[in-house]
Amino acid sequence: MKVSQLARIHALITISMFSATMLLSACGGGGSSNNGNSSPTATTPPPVVTPTPTPPTPPTPPTAGTPAMGCGNVTSTGTGNTTQIVVDGFPCAAGGGVGQINQVDQPYVSVKICAPGSTTNCQIIDHIILDTGSTGLHIMASALSPSLQPGATGLPLMAGSAGTTLTECEVYVTSYVYGPLATADVYIAGEAVKNLPMQVIAQPGYTTPTACSKGGGTATQSTASFGGNGIIGVSFASVDSGLFFDCNNSASGTCVNDNSFVGLPHPVQKFATDNNGISITMPAISTSGVASAVGTLTFGISTQTNNVPSTSTIPLVLGFNTTNGTDGDFQTLINGYWQLTYMDSGTTEDTLLDAALPACTSASGASGLYCPTSVTNVSIGLADFNTSTVKGTLTTPVGNASTLGASTNLAAFNDLIYTNGTAASAQPQVIGFSNFFGHTMWVLFENSSAQGTGLGGTANTKVTGPMYGVN
């Protein structure tokens, strides 16, 4: 769930009806408020030829029970400006066994990491969480090969303003991660970034500063507890918002806050091309759930013929909520009630406030979710931040969580929906990854522009982010 822009939240929760642990990951748009409340600005460039919109077509989902992505044996990260997204339950956390479900509704991509300047000291790392609610690349140390471990012979460590090792802390609801920053050449699909700053999580020998651990919770030290081999944040924000430290040695030296480091950069914004936004396309799935699903991550918006939003796309202008200190919000309307909302692929399940839906009882083992007697479709009106003009609707199915939870071999659901308190106590609503199925979702980055087709403009105008698009 989403809190202040200075503390993007992962909520690692265990629901008794599942044998899997579900990660609600970093929400809050990466924490940048440089342009968090901007709105589309229209300019008039010379007339251009409008390419024919050709939304990316997801590959056919694999056969049920077969892992959609290999564990340690992936040989490609895609081509051109597209790469594969898989939802397969992260079987790697259980040794790669077929049917091992460790994460529900968690999208993964593969990323190639190389030592800067090298074409041989490289590794393709699978099961990197795809997160539109955070910014930056964070890789578990245990997922890196020995030759890429940070240090003199692997990924170069970054120095802070005091000349000592620069480290980062990410504080979550019930846990935190900590580790040094290093640089790497990063490749995904046909795109590349040289010398990209990234975090290495749980690197051995680094003592966590008290300022990082004092918030409580436990340190995340394994890929199983993290829910993946790392996370790539592709939110609208240009930099992330962790806590950064200068440490005079890796083992037990004194660490001091380093406020001069602005944050890990957005990896996609560092691409040479296709760097103004992304889209996520997922296939429609059964309300009974499926064992796995495969979709497409496409880089760029209106930079090629395969990334032009359809004219049926609902454009949403994002804003900054001064009350809660959150950015990346828009408005939703459900059964006459308006609510602040954000969209986050790294959050595994949606939340919504609908008094007409029955909540699950504690005896059902699914407390905190909805349990209608049959699948119920809820219409969500979508509007720009701080407005009450519905621009379109998103229909989300709501299933009986207690019944769905009996299926322990399924990794993808589109109708597991969490309750969101009462009208008086509700937090911002989450359109999480379960609502990505059957849609293409667009993110136009802050300070980036795109042809207006499908995003509230025309082929002859441009719009400027941050914006979402729903289709």
Residue 93's SS3 state is helix
Instruction: Say if 394 falls within a structural domain.
Output: yes
Q: Are residues 96 and 154 in the same domain?
A: yes
All residues at 6 or more sequence positions from 132 whose CB lies less than 8 Å from its CB, including other chains:
233, 234, 235, 278, 280, 343, 344, 345, 346, 441, 443
Q: Tokens for 234?
A: 């592709």
- Residue 58, preceding peptide bond in cis (omega within 30° of 0): no
Residue 157's SS3 state is strand
Q: Are residues 97 and 241 in the same domain?
A: yes
Range list of β-strands (E), 271-412: 277-281, 293-299, 314-317, 319-321, 326-334, 337-343, 350-352, 376-383, 392-398
Instruction: Give me the number of domains the chain comprises.
Output: 2
Q: Are residues 191 and 321 in the same domain?
A: no
**Parallel, antiparallel or unpaired: strands 277-281 and 293-299:** antiparallel
| Residue numbers of the domain that contains 257 | 82-270
Q: Are residues 371 and 254 in the same domain?
A: no
Instruction: Say if 27 falls within a structural domain.
Output: no
Look up the CATH number of the domain holding residue 333: 2.40.70
Q: Are residues 262 and 320 in the same domain?
A: no
**Parallel, antiparallel or unpaired: strands 429-431 and 337-343:** parallel
pTM confidence score: 0.87
| Residue that finishes a domain, picked among 215, 240, 270 | 270
Q: Are residues 243 and 315 in the same domain?
A: no
Low-confidence ranges of the chain (pLDDT < 70): 1-68, 95-99, 173, 249-253, 322-326, 423-426
At residue 20, the pLDDT reads 36
Look up the CATH number of the domain holding residue 263: 2.40.70.10
Q: Are residues 223 and 361 in the same domain?
A: no
At residue 44, the pLDDT reads 33
Q: Is the separation of the CB atoms in 137 and 230 below 8 Å?
A: yes
| Residue that finishes a domain, picked among 270, 296, 331 | 270
Q: Are residues 323 and 255 in the same domain?
A: no
All residues at 6 or more sequence positions from 46 whose CB lies less than 8 Å from its CB, including other chains:
none
Q: Are residues 264 and 315 in the same domain?
A: no
